[in-house]
Structure 1
């Protein structure tokens, strides 16, 4: 079995958060969802657990950070192309998120943008041409 990652995020409005993540391509897994949390499957190996503040608070003795005021974590998803990066950020904005809370990154071999979900969690979306990166890195090493 491939190693998986489960990202747990506190959300103020579970219904709104579910709708947002569905709009950017996640699928709700009903077996692991109830009125206090939703399991949102992004890929075979990436799952986001959206948890009400009360539910999330049961897993940690620390206060829940306000993601609009402090950076708790930066999450990054890969994309298959530059177009796919732009499509995901566009879908996030159309679903009530914020597009480009940080500047776009375009290095030729790598292209990235970011979006903010309705609770302020920032997700980066990156595409990379590994062959072009390897050529760039070889050129840097030779210089």
Structure 2
């Protein structure tokens, strides 16, 4: 079996979160989803997120849940194949109800911008020039 990355994110409204990420072009695997969680494919076969209702997420931990709208614990960074892909995903995120916490940064060899999803989780999209 190939190694995979699967990270878990607590969400307030699973249906709204599923619709948000579907608008960005991500897909979900119903085989690993339920009323409490949705298995999201980010990079098929290797990177996934399990979106979990807050109640389900809390059942798996023994300390308070961080409210990502008020505090940050992590920024999820995804590489993109072009500047246009970065801009396109940002536009989709904003159209689906997300927000951008800062303008794009263009360093010549690297271009990036981030968005905040419906639950306050931060996502950074980055393109790096092949020669970098």
- TM-score between both structures, scaled by the size of structure 2: 0.95
Q: Distance in 1 between matches of 2:111 and 2:3?
A: 26
Task: Provide the C-alpha distance between the structure 2 equivalents of 1:77 and 1:107, rounded to a whole number of angstroms.
Answer: 17
1:79-113 per-position Cα deviation (integer Å, ceiling 9, x unaligned) = 00000000000000111111x21342210010000
Structure 1 outlier segments of 4+, above 6 Å: none
**How far is 1:2 from its partner?**
3.2
Structure index of larger Rg: 1
How do 1:1-143 residues align onto structure 2 when only pairs under 5 Å count? 1-44=1-44, 45-98=46-99, 100-131=100-131, 133=132
Which residue matches 1:137? none
Give the structure with the larger helix fraction.
Answer: 1
- Name the stretch that deviates more: 74-83 or 101-110: 101-110
- 1:48-71 Cα offsets, whole Å, 9 max, x none, are 100001110111111110111111
Q: How many residues align?
A: 131
TM-score by length of 1: 0.88
Structure 1: state its 5+ residue gaps: 134-143
Q: How much does 1:119 deviate?
A: 0.3
**Pairwise CA distance, 1:125:** 0.3
In structure 2, stretches of 5+ residues that fail to align are: none
